[in-house]
Amino acid sequence: MPPMTTELASKRFAVDDLTQAMDLCFEKGWTDGLPVVPPTEARVQAMLDAVALAPDKEIAFITNRQVGVTAEKVAINAVMAGCKPEYMPVVVAAVEGIADPRWGYHGPATSTGGAGVLMIINGPIGRRLDFNSGDNLFGPGWRANATVGRALRLVMRNVIGTLPGQLDRGTLGHPGKYTYVIAENEAESPWIPLHVERGLSKEDSAVTVMAAEGPHQFYNQLSSTAKGVLTTLCDDMRISGNTTSQPNYVVVIAGEHMQVIAADKWTKADIRTFVFEHTQNSIAHLKRTERMAGAIVADDEAARRPIVAAPEDILVVAAGGRAGAFSAYIPGWASRRTSEAVTKLINDRRA
């Protein structure tokens, strides 16, 4: 390998002031439609210093695009997104996640299905950097959530060429394509954190990336049992995504529902098993509702089609506000053959 350099290699553009810099970024087509922070050398260098990476360090290579994603380009886009330098390790790990062959970049980034990149933050870094895991979970107001997801989307746009209407052909897309970052509420959760279930230790920090539809909120303001709350969830969730072969779902259990389910001593594994078993559709129903081709035959009423291949494909996350009897589910994109959720360790140098 050639030796790494410390010089920033990107082309430079001279401007008179910050306003002109922001306008230039719009004119060049470098933004997501919102103004960006002008990426000056000092700001970009601070990003690189936060991860101790040389600018020409290749963080990922996207085979379908024949594009190498260097630390310098990630840093520039993280600056533009409004990240603090200390967020940079999270952005780097997320880039590694979407470049992982299991995530399968070309499909979810390009598809008419319009997936966003859901990022779930776990471990100490979530609390240290103030990633929101509570009230208004998917909404605005937290710099870390707002800018880390935005940075990843700007990398996809500016470095990997995922431009709407060109190599991003989402028919509808969704607002999560601006940013789509949540943290698990490990402090109040009665359950094993997601990253620990996926093989890391509690002291590790991690980001899980999943190609995802928007969040679907469901109501249950009636039940005081785990079975009751999850029965409502399953009734909502059964007909979602493409109903036949999602690679993953995320189920986000918020405060009141979390308390109800925990009081019944249900674990995440119990939740997964129940949801897997109670979200299956009959083949006859899928045919009657034009989701599957073919005439209904005798066995179709009894034959069941699960919405994921196995209970383990349902990722359960404790997050959301303490008040309100609402939780959410999020269908993954396409099928297990094409993209699956990937969990990456965050190289949290301060941990």
Partner 1 sequence: MARLEILDPTVEARKQPLTYVARPDSLQGKRIGLVENTKFNSDRLLLKIGEILKQDYGAAETRMWRKHNAGVPAHKEILDEARGTVDVVVAGIGD
Interacting residue ranges for partner 1, rule: CB under 8 A: 8, 10-18, 21, 24-25, 28, 30, 38-41, 44, 64-68, 70, 72-73, 76-77, 80, 104, 106-108, 110-112, 154, 158-159, 161, 334-335, 337-339
Q: Apex CA 255: angle with CA 252 and CA 261, to 5°?
A: 80
| Shortest reach from residue 233's CB to partner 1, in Å | 29
| Shortest reach from residue 108's CB to partner 1, in Å | 8
Considering beta carbons, is residue 35 or 190 the nearer one to partner 1? 35
| Shortest reach from residue 268's CB to partner 1, in Å | 29
Considering beta carbons, is residue 78 or 118 the nearer one to partner 1? 78
In order of 16, 110, 239, the CA distances from 167 in angstroms are: 33, 5, 29
| Shortest reach from residue 105's CB to partner 1, in Å | 8
Considering beta carbons, is residue 156 or 254 the nearer one to partner 1? 156
Q: Which helix (H) or strand (E) holds 226?
A: helix 226-237
The two structure tokens encoding residue 127? 């609390």
| Shortest reach from residue 77's CB to partner 1, in Å | 5
β pairing state of 314-318 and 249-253: parallel
Considering beta carbons, is residue 232 or 246 the nearer one to partner 1? 246
User: How many residues are recorded in the chain?
Assistant: 351
Q: Which residue has the tokens 């910050």?
A: 18
Cα–Cα distance for residue pair 33/122, rounded to 1 Å: 29
Q: What is the DSSP string of 264-300?
A: TT--HHHHHHHHHHHSPEEHHHHHHTTSS-S---GGG
Residues contacting residue 338 through CB under 8 Å, at least 6 positions apart = 104, 107, 108, 247
Considering beta carbons, is residue 109 or 260 the nearer one to partner 1? 109
| Shortest reach from residue 258's CB to partner 1, in Å | 36
Considering beta carbons, is residue 115 or 316 the nearer one to partner 1? 115
